[in-house]
Structure 1
């Protein structure tokens, strides 16, 4: 016998053809189970990738901030002096100390692709009788847009701004009754004010953010917030987005600065993703167990029904190992055929769901991720499960005594 086991393959195929109804039922069960696994895996991967893409293109992956100001008691106090109440100091808009040096250090860090200094603070936007509290981000568009993809989220106007221009969120534009080309008076707590022209309106996918978010040139924000020559944040884009928290901790340990990663600021999202992943794994496990149980049950029945055939084969010189391989091949063939049809069914169901499930404006709910690796992995896993499920029936068939089996 060569490595392809032709005799065992022919015998296994014949047994499956003779028990046609059993074979069809078990293949149908495997097909449905694999289709469920493929469909759910595709949906989960698509939603996760869509969420991560949305988060990573609307905020920095690592952000360096001025350390929080903390009040400390005096070190030298008389023993009889009662300690006064230590109050939290007012958090003022401060520049990062020696920020050009830190910027250059970050550019030299392995894995850091883009470094963008920026200024952020609070102000008041006034248009006619309407006014709203806003959050200003002053940046250099040429660099900042490589981290936060503002041009991708522009719904009106343009993302290219000058010193007298401003980009505002969709909700803020609606609250102020403003549109592109309109003028806004922006007043900071320092008393500085400036009349700016709305150059673009952006939708960052979050109502709260869209109510406050505004973007101006770096020098414009520095002037408004009385922070000439300073920056309040240094934003980073890195090549390995899942290493953001590790990198942030390393930076914070080496430089006296606060470093926040997108993983830390989106902890609830990661909790939800982890819960979804756990649920998907459990579903795969239970579906796999049901498929394995079905294959094992069918093969056990097949061993009982074909005990005489097995006895005759053994009497004609078929070895125990050959009988063992016959039933292992049966399990593998059942799983392989069922998983091929199931993968196709699951992929088609995912495509149909993606095509017919739309947002209110008619756009796609999320980009569909349906790579060949999902199908190949599902087929291989199901085939392996079928072979493993066939081990017990195969061992039982191999142990049959030919004389006892023929007598029945």
Structure 2
């Protein structure tokens, strides 16, 4: 095998232009595969982060008439022991109400949140662009769109009308932007205790929210939780609420895989074709080597080693080109604020897999010329020149 390797290396060096062309072809295939695959994965990750990364992935609510969850601490203890993939548990009190301003009523949702726990889910602290969080009784934050409609400023007082007709006057302490217009327009965020006191709920809450370590297993985890609770509770998960998004992500993945498969097929066919021509070009040399005693198996190994070496060089160059394409894309495809449209995403496992597949494809593609070389009759080759 050492002799076959040396001959294969010499063949590649003797046709440097042809070798460089094959290596470049493999490299282009690998780089396209890495670029498209990484781009799709980065886009999917970005979409997931924007849609469910800063929101609860599983929500427990009450099916009772009053929509209240009693004894939330006991339920949380039960949930935490159900699945170790659960993280960032938080409780909220959500009460629909009306904001009365200049003889106009705005439908809103009072969201009482436990400041520290909820921030792990919603990242609200970083989304406050003016003012501060509510700290004391009858203080609220409102969203960007509602601020614009009300023409509100820090320190303004607004009237909240509850479902039972009770009127509360609250003070605006800050403005937030969740980058979702419907939420910015409807959520009035306050402390959990303030919401509970405002609506005389005692220690009851309306929702238990959580995130999970395996986002795409949220439905499975939700089913585990639901099996531990009675019929008074409903367990929702983000996958059930975002079926169209999941369908789009699946479509992206399928199209990406199809593109990558066709690129690999094209690369493999190109390698097989070029090496098959090489067999014809080098048939006289192979015939002489066989006449000197080289076995058919050794002759086959020559082209297998050629395919392997070409695959290694093409894969290395392809990985470098693919990473450069990714970096260039994040520099030129940017939003108006200068941030990349798709964040740079490097999946080392995917890159290694892409390089290995290219290497395997190049080696397999060499099987056809290898088999052909083993069948060459040295006397006929030498006689026919």
TM-score, with length taken from structure 2: 0.91
Partner of 1:323: 299
Relative to structure 1, the CA distance from residue 118 to residue 282 in structure 2 (aligned partners, 3 Å threshold; closer, same or farther) is same
Relative to structure 1, the CA distance from residue 247 to residue 375 in structure 2 (aligned partners, 3 Å threshold; closer, same or farther) is closer
Matches within 5 A, 1:193-212: 193-212=167-186
Alpha-carbon deviations, 1:334-390, whole Å to 9, x = none? 222222222212211211110122222223334211244343332222111100111
8 A contact 1:354–1:364 mirrored in 2:
yes
Runs of 4+ in structure 1 displaced over 6 angstroms? none
- Is 2:119 aligned against 1:123? no
Unmatched 5+ residue regions in structure 2? none
Of 328, 343, 363, 2:319 maps to 343
- Is 2:74 aligned against 1:101? yes
Count of matched residue positions in the alignment of Structure 1 and Structure 2? 381
- Is 2:363 aligned against 1:387? yes
SS across alignment from 1:369: coil
Matches within 5 A, 1:1-400: 5-67=1-63, 93-111=66-84, 112-128=86-102, 131-159=105-133, 161-255=135-229, 256=231, 257-400=233-376
CA distance in 2, matches of 1:130, 1:407: 101
Relative to structure 1, the CA distance from residue 158 to residue 316 in structure 2 (aligned partners, 3 Å threshold; closer, same or farther) is farther
Alpha-carbon deviations, 1:37-65, whole Å to 9, x = none? 11112211222222222334321121101
Measured after TM superposition, the shift of residue 120 of structure 1 is 1.0
Alpha-carbon deviations, 1:167-188, whole Å to 9, x = none? 2222222222224433332222
Alpha-carbon deviations, 1:282-337, whole Å to 9, x = none? 01000000000000000111111111111111111112221111101111222222
Relative to structure 1, the CA distance from residue 130 to residue 51 in structure 2 (aligned partners, 3 Å threshold; closer, same or farther) is same
8 A contact 1:65–1:233 mirrored in 2:
yes
CA distance in 2, matches of 1:197, 1:57: 30
8 A contact 1:184–1:195 mirrored in 2:
yes
TM-score, with length taken from structure 1: 0.86
CA distance in 2, matches of 1:237, 1:322: 59
Measured after TM superposition, the shift of residue 249 of structure 1 is 1.3
Alpha-carbon deviations, 1:228-284, whole Å to 9, x = none? 332111112333333221121122233121101122222222111111111110010
Measured after TM superposition, the shift of residue 129 of structure 1 is 5.1
8 A contact 2:89–2:117 mirrored in 1:
yes
Relative to structure 1, the CA distance from residue 133 to residue 246 in structure 2 (aligned partners, 3 Å threshold; closer, same or farther) is same
Unmatched 5+ residue regions in structure 1? 70-91
CA distance in 2, matches of 1:331, 1:108: 54
8 A contact 1:138–1:215 mirrored in 2:
yes
Relative to structure 1, the CA distance from residue 224 to residue 330 in structure 2 (aligned partners, 3 Å threshold; closer, same or farther) is same
The farther-off stretch of 256-265 and 385-394 is 256-265
The farther-off stretch of 365-374 and 276-285 is 365-374
Alpha-carbon deviations, 1:142-189, whole Å to 9, x = none? 222222221233333334643332222222222222244333322222
SS across alignment from 1:364: coil
CA distance in 2, matches of 1:311, 1:168: 84
- RMSD of aligned C-alpha atoms? 2.1
CA distance in 1, matches of 2:314, 2:104: 65
| Structure with more of its chain in helix, by fraction | 2
